[in-house]
Chain A
Amino acid sequence: MLRARVIPCLLLRNAGLVKTVRFGDAKYVGDPINAVKIFNEKEVDELVVFDIEASKRGAEPNYDLLADIASECFMPVCYGGGVNSVDQALRIVQLGIEKIAVNAAAISNPGLVAELSDVLGAQSVVAGIDVKSDWLGRYRVFDASSGKLTDRTPETQAEELARAGAGEIFLNSVDRDGTQEGYDLKLIGKVAKAVSVPVIACGGGGRSEDFVSAVAAGASAVAAGSLFVFQGRHRAVLISYPPYKELERLLGTK
Chain B
Amino acid sequence: MRLQYPDTIRVIRVPCTGKVDILHLLRAFEKGADGVYVVGCMEGDCRFNQGNLRARKRVEQAQVILEAIGIGGDRVQMYNLSSGEGTKFAAYAVEMTERIRKLGPNPLKSAKRRKAA
Same complex: no
Q: Which residues of A contact B (CB under 8 A)?
A: none
